[in-house]
Structure 1
Amino acid sequence: MIIVMKHTATSDEINTAVKQIENAGLSAHISQGAVVTIIGVVGDKSLLSSDCLCSLNGVDKIVPVTETYKLANLKFHPEPTKVKLGNCEVGGKQLIIMAGPCAIESRDQLLESADAVKMGGATVLRGGAYKPRTSPYSFQGLEEEGLKYMQEAREKTGLSIVCEVTSISAVETASKYVDILQIGARNMQNFELLKAAGKTNIPVLLKRGLSATIDEWLNAAEYIMSEGNQNVILCERGIRTFETATRNTLDISAIPVIKSKSHLPIIVDPSHACGKRPYIPSLAKAAIAAGADGLMIEVHPNPKIALSDGPQSLDPQDFKVLMDELRPIAEAMGRTI
């Protein structure tokens, strides 16, 4: 449930409501807007009397929440969340572009990629140190060695860095190096991994699962947030359908749906959505026009020799061209790049 306080409610009245919630063994989450304060109640609501709450001074009304996700719910937090990074924030006026290679192959490859995406206008460097692959014989990543290269790239370029983590031990290691922990599509419902990421104070990029509904996706975010980490960024990367012309099917409607259901920022990964280089620009433009807060794009110095996802990677020149083409669309949406 949600307790909506009157706009005249005092701090003491708000604290009294919070104390009553906590005395019943429930959790209270306060969201203070410009005019109204909202208190979200998480836990077994049968332990708490709505009539008793309504009788408290300063309480305007009680609103039930039927969705199973609470902390990620727009009703709990009416103002859009802005996730702060080292050099930017996700969910603000500036569109955040995360770009870089699917896999970190070597120090030289990563540093070259970092320079290229920085020059193209990216604000975050992506790179895979842990690579969950369909085949066990495919390149699996450089792990901590790759994370050290990412740290060096951040020091050299000023870019924030994001890397996927695939296990609880990877979370522990990556937390020493990165600005954003990425939970990949295959691990969206790896609940122990979600809880481990939730115990950190590092922003988490949560990709939508291959066949996950939007409610399942938001409930996965809830696992992270329920552990105390409220800095979650959602990433739509395409879902599996019957269509074979593209690697996945980009659910462009997920952007406005998420905006109507959640306060969390959402970015789009057009590279994984289509899996084919020629389609990336169109999907990237559509995502920005639909209201996405940013993009994640695979960029490799030489896609033809990439160890992972070369066919869906842009080269530095194509990335720069795309960024130039995105700017007027961003401006039309009242955003900047």
Structure 2
Amino acid sequence: MIVVMKPNATAEMVQAMVKRVEEMGLKAHVIVGEERTVIAAAGVKRDGHQAELESCDEVEKIVPIIASYKVASKETKPEPTVVQIRDLKIGGSHVGVIAGPCSVESEEQILQVARQVKAAGATGLRGGAFKPRTSPYSFQGMKEEGLKLLALAREETGLAVVTEVMTPEHVDMLCQYADVLQIGARNMQNYHLLQAVGETRTPVLLKRGPSASIEEFLLAAEYILDQGNQQVMLCERGVRTFETHTRFTLPLATVPYLHERTHLPVVIDPSHGTGIASLVPPMCAAAIAAGCDGLILEVHPDPSRAMSDGAQSLTPEVFADTMETCRKVAAAIGKELG
């Protein structure tokens, strides 16, 4: 249920209500809105809880939360969440752009691509240091050395670093290097990992699993939010269907659908969603037209020599052209790209 505080409720009143909710055995999530503060009370409610809280002078009303995902629900927080890290802004009137190689391969490679995507207007740098691969014989990433190179690229360019965390044991280490922790599609329902990143205050980019429903996707986000980390971004990266002309099927209807149900920002990954570099630019434009809050793209200085996902990676030149097109689309719907 949602405890809606009166507009004149003080910080002390809010904390007193939090204590009261927790004494009932419920978990309290304080959400400060533009007009008033609400407290999402999650857990097993007993008869009398609602009436007891409604009787408090500082409470305006109690609203039941219908959705199974309580804190992620728009019922809890009508205003859209905006996540900002350095110059990367995801949500509201901004379409943040994160770009970079699938994998960090060398100092020369990551610095070159960081400079190029920065020059084209990106504000986030993606790059995998730990790579989950289907085959155990594929390149698994440079691990901590790769993280150090990402930090070096950030120091030179100012780009926010977005990289994948694969296990709870790696969370503390990645927080030393990364600005955003990415949860890959394979780990969307790795609940111990979700709870571990939720215990941090580092922003999280959560990718949808290839066979996950929207309900499962939002409940995965709920695991992170439930631990207190409110800086969560949802990433649609395509789902597995019967179709074979693309690597996955990228459902852009996900964008407005999620905006109707959650306050969390929505990022689109057209690189994994199509698996074909030539399809990435038009899908970027279409995603912005659909109202997405961010894009995450794979860009490589020489895709034919990439150690992973070269077929879906843009060259820096094509990325720059794509950014120009996307700026026009964003401006047409009243948004700013960058």
TM-score (norm 2): 0.95
Q: 1:134 deviation in Å? A: 1.1
**Does structure 1 conserve the Cα–Cα contact (< 8 Å) formed by 2:29 and 2:228?**
no
**Does structure 2 conserve the Cα–Cα contact (< 8 Å) formed by 1:21 and 1:48?**
no
Matching residue's letter, 1:300: H
Matching residue's letter, 2:35: V
Cα distance in structure 1, aligned partners of 2:88 and 2:269: 19
Q: Over residues 287-306 of structure 1, what are the superposed CA-to-partner deviations in whole Å (9 max), with x where a residue is unaligned?
A: 10111111001000000111
Aligned to 1:79: 79
Q: 1:91 deviation in Å? A: 1.3
Distance 1:46 1:177, change over 3 A: same
**Does structure 1 conserve the Cα–Cα contact (< 8 Å) formed by 2:103 and 2:308?**
yes
Q: 1:131 deviation in Å? A: 0.8
Distance 1:161 1:13, change over 3 A: closer
Aligned to 2:113: 113
Matching residue's letter, 1:292: C
Cα distance in structure 2, aligned partners of 1:226 and 1:31: 12
Cα distance in structure 2, aligned partners of 1:248 and 1:73: 27
Aligned to 2:203: 203
Specify every segment of 5 or more residues in structure 2 that has no aligned partner in the other structure, as ranges: none
Cα distance in structure 1, aligned partners of 2:130 and 2:15: 45
Aligned to 1:56: 56
Cα distance in structure 2, aligned partners of 1:102 and 1:13: 48
Q: 1:48 deviation in Å? A: 5.0
Cα distance in structure 2, aligned partners of 1:64 and 1:5: 14
Residues 1:178 and 2:170 are matched in the alignment: no
Matching residue's letter, 2:243: E
Specify every segment of 5 or more residues in structure 1 that has no aligned partner in the other structure, as ranges: none
Query: Secondary structure of 1:176's match?
Result: helix
Distance 1:16 1:136, change over 3 A: closer
Residue range with higher mean Cα deviation, 11-20 or 269-278: 11-20
What are the equivalent positions in structure 2 for 1:135-214 lying under 5 Å apart? Answer: 135-214=135-214
- Percent identity of paired positions between Structure 1 and Structure 2: 51
Q: 1:93 deviation in Å? A: 2.2
Cα distance in structure 2, aligned partners of 1:220 and 1:311: 30
**Does structure 1 conserve the Cα–Cα contact (< 8 Å) formed by 2:163 and 2:180?**
yes
Distance 1:12 1:163, change over 3 A: closer
**Does structure 1 conserve the Cα–Cα contact (< 8 Å) formed by 2:179 and 2:203?**
yes
Query: Secondary structure of 2:98's match?
Result: strand
Matching residue's letter, 2:245: A
Q: 1:88 deviation in Å? A: 3.1
Cα distance in structure 2, aligned partners of 1:174 and 1:11: 34
Cα distance in structure 2, aligned partners of 1:32 and 1:172: 28
Query: Secondary structure of 1:328's match?
Result: helix
**Does structure 2 conserve the Cα–Cα contact (< 8 Å) formed by 1:13 and 1:57?**
no
Structure 1 runs of 4+ aligned residues shifted over 3 Å read 5-19
**Does structure 2 conserve the Cα–Cα contact (< 8 Å) formed by 1:237 and 1:268?**
yes
Q: Over residues 166-198 of structure 1, what are the superposed CA-to-partner deviations in whole Å (9 max), with x where a residue is unaligned?
A: 112322221111101100000000111111111
CA RMSD of aligned residues (A): 1.6
**Does structure 2 conserve the Cα–Cα contact (< 8 Å) formed by 1:83 and 1:89?**
yes
Distance 1:145 1:38, change over 3 A: same
Query: Secondary structure of 2:125's match?
Result: strand
Residue range with higher mean Cα deviation, 54-63 or 189-198: 54-63
Cα distance in structure 1, aligned partners of 2:142 and 2:9: 55
Matching residue's letter, 2:187: N
Residue range with higher mean Cα deviation, 92-101 or 318-327: 92-101
Cα distance in structure 2, aligned partners of 1:138 and 1:94: 37
Cα distance in structure 1, aligned partners of 2:70 and 2:91: 20
Cα distance in structure 1, aligned partners of 2:59 and 2:97: 42
Q: Over residues 78-132 of structure 1, what are the superposed CA-to-partner deviations in whole Å (9 max), with x where a residue is unaligned?
A: 2211112022332132211000000111111111111111111100000011111
Matching residue's letter, 1:315: T
Cα distance in structure 2, aligned partners of 1:15 and 1:97: 37
Aligned to 2:330: 330
Distance 1:140 1:16, change over 3 A: closer
Query: Secondary structure of 2:62's match?
Result: strand
